[in-house]
Amino acid sequence: MPRWLLVGLGLGLASSVLAACLFVAADRLFPTRRHPHGREGGERRRRVELRDYLDAIGEAYAEEHLVEGQSVAFYLPERDVAITFDAQAYYRIDRSPTVPILVEHEMPGVHLGDRLPFEVPDVDFGPAEPAETRDPATAAFDELGLATTASLDEVKAAYRRKVKETHPDQGGDEDEFKRVREAYTTAKRHAG
């Protein structure tokens, strides 16, 4: 073999190992923030809503429970009902005695009662203000977690914090990221 080929292969291998070491070191020094269950954005929000709903109707449940070998978001042991976001798990459980409920990521938690195979009490979470009647500036400041009297610097700082949580490159949800961007644009115009 020619000497230049061996030198080239050696340099290529050495640079690949060096790049891999740099990536491992960077990942350990600057870890990506992850949700405890690995879920981000819409599904995380729906889990909170479903949990609140199940608590409000007084139904006992287990989270991340195995049913027929499938992990489901919520399992109601007294009723033998499995609530899942995964269509494959739904169809596998559908062949068993357990009643599966498939929940879309966009479905608000209060609508779970319409899908449950038993009677549920009416739950009032307070008056829901329709998005179209809500003041866009107030909604924008709420999305950023700020008071409507916030300054431009506070708006910018809140936006930077929210972007770190919601940006898809950081494991966030695309829709939530878009809402944060739109809220930032609106809040900038109305900042005090």
Q: Are both 107 and 56 inside the same structural domain?
A: yes
Tell me how far apart the alpha carbons of residues 73 and 6 are, in angstroms, rounded to a whole number.
55
Tell me how far apart the alpha carbons of residues 132 and 142 are, in angstroms, rounded to a whole number.
15
Query: Residue 68 is which amino acid?
Result: E
Q: Is residue 178 part of a domain?
A: yes
Q: Are both 46 and 111 inside the same structural domain?
A: yes
Q: Are 77 and 90 in contact (CB under 8 A)?
A: no
pLDDT for 32: 65
Q: Are both 166 and 104 inside the same structural domain?
A: no
**Tokens 């292969």 identify what position?**
9
CA atoms within 13 A on the CB side of 24: 6
Tell me how far apart the alpha carbons of residues 14 and 21 are, in angstroms, rounded to a whole number.
11
**Tokens 């042991």 identify what position?**
77
Which pTM was predicted? 0.47
Q: Are both 97 and 142 inside the same structural domain?
A: no
Q: Is residue 15 part of a domain?
A: no
Question: In the listed set 115, 139, 168, which residue is the last one of a domain according to the structure?
Answer: 115
Q: Residue 161 sits in a domain of what CATH number?
A: 1.10.287.110
Q: Residue 75 sits in a domain of what CATH number?
A: 3.40.960.10
pLDDT for 39: 43
Q: Is residue 12 part of a domain?
A: no
Q: Is residue 166 part of a domain?
A: yes
pLDDT for 126: 57
What are 64-121's pLDDT values in tens digits?
999 989 899 999 999 999 999 888 999 999 989 999 999 887 677 778 888 899 888 8
What are 134-151's pLDDT values in tens digits?
678 888 888 888 888 889
DSSP string, 56-111: HTT---EEEEEETTEEEEEEETTTTEEEES-HHHHHHHTTSSSEEEE--TTS-GGG
Question: In the listed set 115, 148, 180, which residue is the last one of a domain according to the structure?
Answer: 115
Domain boundaries, position 137: 131-190
| Average pLDDT rounded to a whole number, residues 18-43 | 71
pLDDT for 38: 43
Tell me how far apart the alpha carbons of residues 105 and 84 are, in angstroms, rounded to a whole number.
10
Q: Is residue 50 part of a domain?
A: yes
